[in-house]
């Protein structure tokens, strides 16, 4: 009988395999392969050579590619691309925020695996946790809970207080690598601070690193429905000022989450593909702060009984909004808006720097019969779910508010268009683009389309908002008395000086202007509002010369103080995967009013291909003047 083979050495051919599996940017000295693709290994035997026909070698590798994405361009974008854009601003002014995902940077793969080992699931039952790691649904929920720190030593602490003295203002971050490396270096202590776009960006890094196709999604006018009835209630006083919501319902100016591509064998056929996952800690799911994966197809079709957390996801993109006037201890319904929530749902285009609008993936066209039918189906499913007992993660949260009858959320309220009551319409119009440091000029347009004259008293106000919809105290008020003859159009000009709004602004630079009009001898009231995002001039980045691997490269960064006052404590940060080994911090100090300056940095690119440079300038008066530049790095000789 022939002597058995003894393996002396196994050559995993890491360098060769990693190139074929697009993991060479992570490492070349250890094997990192992707599911569903062949790889080569070489075995060397100690006692004799391999004899075909006599010797048999059985090699067992179990893989199941539940995250396979058919399109090679999409695989390149959603798995391999290490930079992108996160869309912010408001629906009328959408701006791209550059971000360094950096999933292939040094030690990131080990940090991502450490993140899995720090999860509560692994701590409680390591064997079961590891056995389930082949499921992208399971991994998605674990990572989602670990990105925030509400239940564990997750990666990020959330903070919406505007007080960031013991950490970093979320607006200052430009990439995930610094966050993940800080979390690891401090013994897995949560990094301070994050808000929705930071949570989503870091989750994108982790999921792409683990080989799961992932993209970052921004939803403008995003609903946060706390009681699960698919209605957002907003309350205003007689000046038109939005009030702190006693129910904590809100419409976020924008909200950011992730989509991950995966099969959903736990759901009926047809609900695989893109799945919503939201790491921002808003509501609990099975006792933990995570959300999803919720099938995007299920959200569009109103199948809110399908797991996970689909009712909450549905409300973010397609809840109705009811506005209430609060006065004298009473509440008067102003109107119900069926299209106020969920618009311009955005993500970066595939292998493009352009914005891709994916709203139609989430909802039928607003105002269409299909959209209303889906909404009513979702409401009925939620009512049925509540009647069957206490809900869990796969059903809507409990609510003491009925969905029918005389409650504010009654579905038999007639649908009225905002600003159009009693044949008079109001509309705000900006007279020039709103730039930080300049006065805000706008006018109120009043149109009387009726055959009778109208005498109006209009209360106007302005207040800052956080991007999650939380109102701050009003800093400007005015009252206008308008007489409109039949078919007449009138304008009322307004100006808010810089010195009046500057000290009240939040980091989000959002101002809501509101007008509440009442007609003489009538109970009818008209409410109209507009959200303004103040713009900064961006940072300009110039690449001086050809970018070649292992060759010095000079980069010029041009920035300015846009304000009419001096700013201090200025710090410029610059980073870019494959271009800089770590984030660069340059202390600028003081910038005089409207002063323009530039610096030149020298770096040595160490990775070829398409790259992106991200820059941020902060001071004691602003935190997030940003800029970016795409650059192609040649491999050279």
The pair of three-digit structure tokens given for residue 336, joined into one six-digit string: 């119900």
Length of the chain: 637
Q: How far apart are CA 275 and CA 293, in angstroms?
A: 5
Q: What is the DSSP letter of 513?
A: E
Q: Determine whether 278 is an active site residue.
A: yes
Q: How far apart are CA 449 and CA 422, in angstroms?
A: 9
Point out the catalytic residue in the list 144, 188, 196, 260.
196
Point out the catalytic residue in the list 82, 129, 249, 278.
278
Q: How far apart are CA 121 and CA 484, in angstroms?
A: 66
Question: Is 371 labeled as ligand-binding?
Answer: yes
Q: How far apart are CA 587 and CA 572, in angstroms?
A: 6
Q: Strand, coil or helix: what is 337?
A: strand
Point out the catalytic residue in the list 22, 224, 255, 335.
255
Q: What is the CA radius of gyration of the chain?
A: 28
- How far from 575 is each of 84, 101, 157, 193, 351, CA to CA, in Å? 13, 11, 23, 19, 21
The pair of three-digit structure tokens given for residue 497, joined into one six-digit string: 């000086």
CB 356 within 8 A of CB 349: yes
CA proximity to 468, closest of 155, 157, 196 = 196
Q: What is the DSSP letter of 419?
A: T
Q: How far apart are CA 373 and CA 379, in angstroms?
A: 10
CA proximity to 469, closest of 310, 556, 341 = 341
Mark 389-422 as b/e (b = at least 16 C-beta within 10 Å).
eebebbbbbebeeebeeeebbebeeeeeebbbbb
CB 23 within 8 A of CB 33: yes
Chain centroid, CA 185 distance in Å: 26
Q: Determine whether 204 is an active site residue.
A: no
Question: Is 121 labeled as ligand-binding?
Answer: no
Q: Determine whether 255 is an active site residue.
A: yes
Question: Is 318 labeled as ligand-binding?
Answer: yes
Report the greatest alpha carbon distance in the chain: 110
Q: What phi, psi does 301 have (nearest 5°)? A: -90, 0
Question: Is 105 labeled as ligand-binding?
Answer: no
How many other β-carbons are positioned within 10 Å of the β-carbon of residue 229? Answer: 27
Sign of CA dihedral 361, 359, 232, 197: positive
The pair of three-digit structure tokens given for residue 335, joined into one six-digit string: 């109107």
The pair of three-digit structure tokens given for residue 356, joined into one six-digit string: 């891709």
- With 0-12 / 13-18 / 19 or more C-beta atoms within 10 angstroms meaning exposed / middle / buried, residue 4 is exposed
Strands 231-236 and 320-327 come out as parallel
Strands 191-194 and 330-337 come out as unpaired
Catalytic residue list:
196, 255, 278
Residue positions forming the annotated binding site for Ca(2+): 318, 320, 366, 371
């Amino acid at each position: 009988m022939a002597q058995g083979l003894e393996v002396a050495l196994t050559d995993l051919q890491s360098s060769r395999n990693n190139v074929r599996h697009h993991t060479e940017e992570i490492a070349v000295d250890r094997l990192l392969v992707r599911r569903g693709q062949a790889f080569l290994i070489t075995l060397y035997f100690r006692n004799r050579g391999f004899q075909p026909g006599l010797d048999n070698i059985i090699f067992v590798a179990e893989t199941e590619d539940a995250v396979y994405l058919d399109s090679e361009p999409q695989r390149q974008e959603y798995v391999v691309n290490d930079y992108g854009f996160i869309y912010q601003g408001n629906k009328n002014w959408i701006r791209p925020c550059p971000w360094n995902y950096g999933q292939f940077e040094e030690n990131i793969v080990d940090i991502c695996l450490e993140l899995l080992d720090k999860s509560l699931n692994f701590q409680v039952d390591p064997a079961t946790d590891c056995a389930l790691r082949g499921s992208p649904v399971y991994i998605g929920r674990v990572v989602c809970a670990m990105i925030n720190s509400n239940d564990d030593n997750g990666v990020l602490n959330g903070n919406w207080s505007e007080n960031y003295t013991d950490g970093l203002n979320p607006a200052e971050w430009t990439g995930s690598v610094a966050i993940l490396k800080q979390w690891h270096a401090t013994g897995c202590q949560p990094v301070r601070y994050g808000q929705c776009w930071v949570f989503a960006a870091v989750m994108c890094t982790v999921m792409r690193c683990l080989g799961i196709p992932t993209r970052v999604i921004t939803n403008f006018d995003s609903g946060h429905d706390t009681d699960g009835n698919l209605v957002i209630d907003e309350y205003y006083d007689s000046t038109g000022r939005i009030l702190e919501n006693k129910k904590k319902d809100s419409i976020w100016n924008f909200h950011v989450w992730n989509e991950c591509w995966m099969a959903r064998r736990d759901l009926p056929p047809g609900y695989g593909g893109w799945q919503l996952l939201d790491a921002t800690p808003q509501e609990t799911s099975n006792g933990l702060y995570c959300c999803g994966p919720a099938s995007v197809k299920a959200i569009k079709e109103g199948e809110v009984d399908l797991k996970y957390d689909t009712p909450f996801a549905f409300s973010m993109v397609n809840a109705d909004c009811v506005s209430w006037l609060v006065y004298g201890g009473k509440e008067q319904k102003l109107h119900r808006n069926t299209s106020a929530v969920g618009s311009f749902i955005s993500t970066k285009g595939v292998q493009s720097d352009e914005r891709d609008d994916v709203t139609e993936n989430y909802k039928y066209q607003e105002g269409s019969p299909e959209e209303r039918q889906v909404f009513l189906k979702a409401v009925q499913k939620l009512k049925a779910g509540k009647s069957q007992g206490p809900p869990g993660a796969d059903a809507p949260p409990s609510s003491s508010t009925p969905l029918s009858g005389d409650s504010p959320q009654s579905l038999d309220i007639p649908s009225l268009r905002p600003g159009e009551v009693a044949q008079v319409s109001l509309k705000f119009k900006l007279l020039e683009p709103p730039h930080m440091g300049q006065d805000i000029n706008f006018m109120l347009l009043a149109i009387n389309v009726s055959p009778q004259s109208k005498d109006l008293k209009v209360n106007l106000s302005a207040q800052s908002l956080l991007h999650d919809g939380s109102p701050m105290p009003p800093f400007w008020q005015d009252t206008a008395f308008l007489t409109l003859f039949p078919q007449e159009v009138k304008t009322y000009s307004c100006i808010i000086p810089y010195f009046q709004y500057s000290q009240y602004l939040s980091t989000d630079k959002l101002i809501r202007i509101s007008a509440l009009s009442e007609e003489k001898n009538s109970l009818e009231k008209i409410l109209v509002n507009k959200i303004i995002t103040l713009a900064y001039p961006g940072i300009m980045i110039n690449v001086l010369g050809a970018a070649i691997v292992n060759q010095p490269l000079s980069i010029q960064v041009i920035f300015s103080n846009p304000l009419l006052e001096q700013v201090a404590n200025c710090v410029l940060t610059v980073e870019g995967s494959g271009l800089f080994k770590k984030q660069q911090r340059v202390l600028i100090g003081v910038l005089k009013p409207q002063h323009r300056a530039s610096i030149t940095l020298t770096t040595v690119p160490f990775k070829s291909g398409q790259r992106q440079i991200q820059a941020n300038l902060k001071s004691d008066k602003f935190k997030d003047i940003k800029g970016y530049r795409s650059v192609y790095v040649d491999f050279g000789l």
